[in-house]
Structure 1
Amino acid sequence: MTDPAATFQSLILEARRRFEAGGIADPATDARILVMSLLGLGQTDLVLRGDQPVDGALLPVVEQGIARRLAREPVHRILGQRDFYGLALMLSPGTLEPRPDTEVLVDAVLPHLRHVVAAKGSASIVDLGTGTGAIALALLAECPGARAVGVDISTDALATAVRNAERHGLAQRFAARESIWFENLPGKFDLIVSNPPYIRSDVVLTLDPEVQNFDPAAALDGGKDGLEAYLAIAEQASAHLQKGGLIGLEIGWDQREDVTQIFERKGFSLVEWRKDFGGNDRVLVFASRDR
């Protein structure tokens, strides 16, 4: 139990100690983010008020948060939101928790999107497997001339994406559609983006509890070889890509050659690839050969 005479600083230290004892991978960071967020503290508050006592009514809230983290629930799941490309995005059971490495995909396709808007006055995006709406909403926030459709098979994810769009004033340029990839999606787009499930089914069973138990399996499991989603997207992409359009994809660290071959067989050329913050291949950008 937390100390009834606890200060802001001592609560963070206690959480860190318990996380270390519980085998949490990064106890110091998790303790700081969790406790400060639950108490509504900023970094300046911690400096100025770190030695002040905490309102006793808040102690059970912190205790519950610590207990949930010790049960391996991720910090941002406990808090109910995570920042992505400067947007605070709400999470729900049907959404993947957006990771910083996915921001590399936004960085890669944003110049193209801006170029299309400059040339045509507008641009259209489809985000396949949108989840929280992270990729689409980040692009809309950075490019006011763009509109996006977020596609997902999860009604929970789609509802969360819509709430995130509303939260950030992007709802008028964002539409949600329930579909298996392009199945219920008419029309063509200037940009197709996706962070699809790409983990091999046998590997999903070995993931950390934070991922395996809290991220939706449908957003993780890419089938026996991890490539099922890429095959499905490549099969139909030509019919949904505007002339001169691009496809931006997140991939697993060892999938660059396999995914490139899949799209090359369907008439696309790899025009760019980028590594993530850990130095692993993470993003591929394709264009149609007849662009």
Structure 2
Amino acid sequence: MTRSAADWLRAATARLAPLIGLSEAQRDARLILRAATDWSAARLVAEGATPLDAGPELRADAMLARRAGHEPLAQILGHWPFYGRAFAVDRNVLTPRADTETLIELALSDPFKTMIDLGTGSGAIAVTLLAERPTARGVATDLSPAALSIAARNATAHGVASRLDLAAADWWAGIGGRFDLIVSNPPYVTAADYAALAPEVQQYEPMAALTPGGDGLSAYRAILDGVAAHANPGARLLLEIGALQGQALRDMLTQAGFQDVSIQTDINGKDRVAMGRVGTAQADRCR
């Protein structure tokens, strides 16, 4: 007998809860059933007693099986929300995290005309910044052609493709020009911490976008080496960091000659963004 929407949700939640916890299980079950039925959140509540049609139920069951196998929900759905917009994702890019919205808020706190996003992945940061600042232009780089393809899709979907240049690059290699704003969410997980990440992350998200190995700081060193040569006077640098990397990044930025260095916390009170402004003497050395 065909199950009702409410019955399916209860069974799906019970299946997922031991794996990911009750709250996340309830959320994922609802999102899976909405995707399978194309129902709104309100309709899902209003028609909880309605028997599911065979096609949507089969689609929901297939997606549930994938989620129970630890595949991230974002990859099952093919998209994920970030700063009020839906971004296409797949196994070639990291799923945008709410923590990264801290970097967006900080980047938008000062005006900019030009920006670069190093290691853009899905393009969530670069696309969001240009969508929020419709007169700005930007560059977004990544080593992965597959990631750049996803970023291009997202740039087109959100109407910024004409203002965003995508470049295959190893950090600054081959990049010209100077920018008002330099941002990056680089790989920063240490080798030891990577080994302890959840199966959803280790098995389904690109390792190169998560960890550079070792102490997790090598990407920052590469980025800092090129900032002054690509910065307009007074340019800002914003780097997403791990929760335990605040002091290390404060020291690195200070030693590199940045001014107004600070470490900003995310919505959970954890260190999340290292900020600095390119100093006059620092920039002069590269002119």
TM-score, reference length from structure 1 = 0.92
**1:127 matches 2:124:** no
Q: Which moved more, 1:83-92 or 1:272-281?
A: 272-281
Q: Are residues 1:165 and 2:161 paired?
A: no
Q: Please say if residues 250 and 263 of structure 2, whose CA atoms lie closer than 8 Å, have aligned partners that are also in contact.
A: no
Tell me the residue number matched to 1:119.
none
- 1:211-232 CA deviation, whole Å, 9 max, x = no partner? 1111100010132001000011
Does 2:14 match 1:24?
no
Deviation, 1:24, is 2.1
Please point out which of 196, 208, 221 is paired with 1:206.
196
1:218-259: CA deviations, max 9, x gaps? 010132001000011011111011111100110000111111
- Spell out, residue by residue over 1:86-118, the C-alpha distance to the aligned partner (whole angstroms, 9 max, x if none): 111000221111100000000011021xx34xx
Give how far 1:55 is off: 1.2
In the alignment, structure 2 segments of 5+ residues that lack a partner are none
Could you tell me which amino acid in structure 1 is paired with residue 145 of structure 2?
T
Conserved 8 A contact 1:93-1:156: no
**Within 2, Cα distance between the matches of 1:38 and 1:230?**
41
- CA positional deviation for 1:145: 1.0
**Local SS of the residue matching 2:153:** helix
TM-fit CA distance, 1:184: 1.6
Identity among equivalent positions (%) equals: 38
Which is further off, 167-176 or 41-50? Answer: 41-50
Q: Does 1:142 align with 2:132?
A: yes
Q: CA deviation at 1:289?
A: 2.1
Contact 1:24 1:70 in 2 (8 A): no
| Aligned-pair CA distance for 1:172 | 0.7
Q: Distance in 2 between matches of 1:70 and 1:92?
A: 18
Question: TM-score, normalized by length of structure 2?
Answer: 0.94
AA aligned to 1:139 is L
Q: Kindly state the Cα deviation for residue 31 of structure 1 after the two structures are TM-superposed.
A: 1.3
Q: Distance in 2 between the 1:75 and 1:288 partners?
A: 39
- Partner of residue 47, structure 1: 45
- Name the CA distance, whole Å, in 2 between partners of 1:287 and 1:181: 19
Q: 3-state DSSP class of the match of 2:211?
A: coil
Unaligned residue ranges in structure 1 (runs of 5+): 117-122
Tell me what 2:2 maps to: 5
Between 23-32 and 231-240, the greater mean CA deviation after superposition: 23-32
Match of 2:57 in 1: 59
User: 1:45 is matched by which residue type in structure 2?
Assistant: R
Paired letter, 1:278: N
Displacement after TM superposition at 1:269 (Å): 2.5
What amino acid sits opposite 1:76 in the alignment?
A: A
How many positions carry a matched residue from both structures? 279
Deviations, residues 110-134 of structure 1 (Å, cap 9, x unaligned): 021xx34xxxxxx111001101101
**1:276 aligned residue:** 266
Question: Could you tell me which residue of structure 1 aligns to residue 168 of structure 2?
Answer: 178
**Aligned alpha-carbon RMSD (Å):** 1.3
Task: Find the partner of 2:253 among 263, 272, 278.
Answer: 263
Contact conserved, 2:250 with 2:261, CA < 8 A, in 1?
A: no
CA contact (8 A) 2:254 2:261 kept: no
- Post-superposition shift, 1:273? 2.9
Which residue in the other structure is 2:207 paired with? Answer: 217
**Would you say the 8 A contact 1:95–1:215 is kept in 2?**
yes
Equivalence for 1:155: 145
